[in-house]
Copies of this chain bind each other. A is one copy, B any other.
Amino acid sequence: MEGVDHLAEERNRAEFDVEEMKIVWAGSRQEFEVSDRMARLVASDAVFRKDNRGILGRKELFKNTLRKAAYQEASKLRFFVDEPAFTDLHWGMFVPAIKGQGTDEQQQKWLPLAYKMQIIGCYAQTELGHGSNVQGLETTATFDHETDEFVIHSPTLTSSKWWPGGLGKISTHAVVYARLVINGKEHGVHGFIVQLRSLDDHLPLPGITVGDIGMKFGNGAYNTMDNGVLRFDHVRIPREQMLQRVLQVTREGKCVESNVPRQLIYGTMVYVRQSIVADASRALSRAVCIATRYSAVQDNLVPRMVIDYKTQQSRLFPLLASAYAFRFVGEWLKWLYTDVTERLQANDFSTLPEAHACTAGLKSLTTSVTADAIEECRKLCGGHGYLFASGLPELFAVYVPACTYEGDNIVLLLQVARFLMKTVSQLPSGKKPVGTTAYMGRAEHLLQCRCNVQKAEDWLNPSVVLEVFEARAARMSVARAQNLGKFANPEEGFAELSPVLVEAAVAHCQLIVVSKFFEKLQQNIPGKGVKEQLQVLCCIYALNILHKHLGDFIATGCISAKQASLANDLLRSLYSKLRPNAIALVDAFNYTDHFLGSILGRYDGNVYPKLYEEAWKDPLNDSVVPDGYQEYIRPLLKQQLRNARL
């Protein structure tokens, strides 16, 4: 059966040019070629094997990851290696923190060392007792006039650093966030570069207690990574090791603010969060690829193709559409980051707050949707989705913390809501909302416009859909703002109304995704049938949201019940339209079987023989009669069990 493509028939049904769609998905021909080559390299090298993750003990698992990470070039390939490792934090957080918050001299000193990995760093912000509440961090950095040093100290148990990836066993250095104390006076939380381990023997330096925080969700997942705990007992570092692009401490212990605004830190956040959005589309597309292929597996003997059930389609296809939607909004965020960076270099900070709110919101929306979607894809695979070999349990376990790290998703939505409320409150003063909030400038129109959909096909019109989404978002924000106005104390009002404020934020973020998908469709997209498929996907994405959040749309009077029902009719017919293209649309992600790591998602659809083969590899099958039979089962069967213990 090897070599047979069980999904060939499905592939033949596609009505568009898959190769062209691959380019669209990758972003450009060049991106496609680089990814394609790297994915194949990783897949073909036994070093990067990952199918044994489920049965490795913690130590073996961890050592295995060190081995993979040791190939220097692997830093570029991390994505395809697909295993959380200390390198993620080194490159993804430690280096950006120095770049974003270090002065030019600091960058010149530390970055070359980090680039060559002569030092390995992590990002130590969260403490055992303090995560989202950064102002609650307890670690102190006290300036010592005598020696011109900072003394880093953990005054309590809850001040122990807790969670930083790469900290537990590997990092030699960390950017540590601590309260700056000078002459007994506090000056807020700042970052400090602290060496943790000797570069000679890797032992923790004096005053430093460091270790791993233990097992996490899943068999493999983040257990390949040494998330760590860290305590300081009066550890001294030179004054120069405070990251001081924004605030400098002089030899005399005076705080001098630089001319760089504090918002600068938003730049780093925009960077990190746009990369999280990109990750979301990858994780989501991966899960969708597995579920779609498995749903189309045809048994030769008993015809069975669950993808033909309309319930299966109504659960699966909106997720497929979301994968594309997130991909394009991620692409746009990448552009936004470049734009923000250029402006920062030109000392233009005007778009930062909006860019910050927008990335915060999109990080929250895309990671929440993706986490739920992976689990839904697992359920879509029935019982087999529950097998480790399906790849979905591990994908879920490794993905879900994205909802928590880099800003808890609810906390982020509250920030977006705050920004929206501010935007609304400034409308009367004539301040023009910019970027993704520009539509608020047309609030007057949006508050009273009426949707004039009269037949199902009217919903195919992008401007109709867009206006409905804008109207819903605007009306929700404005209504919330009005309710806030009823409270004497605005902060109290915000706290009290926070659950519905979060909903307004979600509506705003969904609008962004929809509008960026429509913008993408306005580009010139070559390839037979490619654009048509994307149009179908875009429409499914939008109308599915409309269906799931129907209450919002109807309660705000944006659409009528009749119009909602027409949208549903259209949605059903779009599922039928998408159906023959489903396999090709997931093929366009161009994922190797190695990357997918799923027997159910195999490119060739040869699922059952491979599941069967895989089963026998479990250690439990080493012997026919299991260890424990003699002690526990035989006596039971033979009634020789001591009768009462309890």
Task: Tell me the A residues contacting B by CB distance below 8 Å.
Answer: 41, 45, 47, 54-55, 57-59, 62-63, 66-67, 69-74, 77, 116-120, 126, 128-133, 136, 138, 156-158, 160, 162-163, 168-170, 172, 199, 201-204, 211-219, 222, 226, 229, 299, 301-302, 304, 309-315, 371-372, 375, 378-379, 382-383, 385-389, 393, 397, 400-401, 403-405, 408-410, 414, 495-500, 502, 547, 549-557, 561, 564-565, 568, 572, 608-609, 611-612, 614-622, 624-629, 631-637, 639, 641, 643-646
* A611 to B157 CA separation, bound complex (whole angstroms): 10
Copies in the assembly, this chain:
2
7 A-B contact pairs sorted by A residue (CB < 8 Å) = A58-B620, A59-B619, A67-B628, A130-B304, A131-B382, A136-B304, A551-B564
Which residues of the other chain, B, contact A568 by a CB distance below 8 angstroms?
500
Query: Shortest Cβ distance from A250 into chain B, in angstroms?
Result: 30
Q: Identify which of B66, B311, B414 contacts A499 (C-beta below 8 A).
A: B311
Return the chain B residue nearest A559 by Cβ: B555
With contacts A130-B302, A304-B130, A561-B557 taken as known, whether A389 is within 8 angstroms of B215 at the C-beta atoms is yes
Instruction: Indicate which residue in B312, B386, B497, B645 contacts A400 across the interface (CB closer than 8 Å).
Output: B386
Cβ-closest chain B residue relative to A136 = B302
A65 CB to closest chain B CB, in angstroms? 9
> Contacts A119-B637, A311-B410, A646-B41 hold; do A620 and B229 have CB atoms under 8 A apart?
no
State whether A299 touches B158 (Cβ < 8 A): yes
Bound: A47/B645 CA distance, A: 10
Choose among B204, B217, B302 the residue that contacts A386 (Cβ–Cβ < 8 A): B217
Q: Is the CB of B620 within 8 A of A73?
A: no
Contact call B620/A168, Cβ cutoff below 8 A:
yes
Report the bound CA distance from A158 to B1 in whole Å: 14
Give chain B residues whose Cβ lies under 8 Å from the Cβ of A497. Answer: 310
Q: Which residues of B sit under 8 angstroms from A222, Cβ to Cβ?
A: 386
B611→A128 contact, CB < 8 A: yes
| Inter-chain contact A202/B45, CB cutoff 8 Å | no
Known: A69-B632, A608-B129. A401 touches B414 (CB 8 A): no
Given contacts A55-B215, A310-B496, contact A301 B158 (CB under 8 A): yes
A620 in contact with B156 given A214-B615, A549-B551 (CB within 8 Å): no
**Known A-B contacts A119-B637, A608-B128; A389 and B645 likewise in contact (beta carbons under 8 Å):** no
Kindly list chain B residues whose C-beta atoms are within 8 Å of the C-beta of A414.
Answer: 311
Q: What is the chain B residue whose CB lies nearest that of A556?
A: B561
On whether the beta carbons of A72 and B383 are closer than 8 Å, the reply is no
Closest to A401 in B: B386
A229 touches which of B66, B213, B309, B612 (Cβ 8 Å)? B612
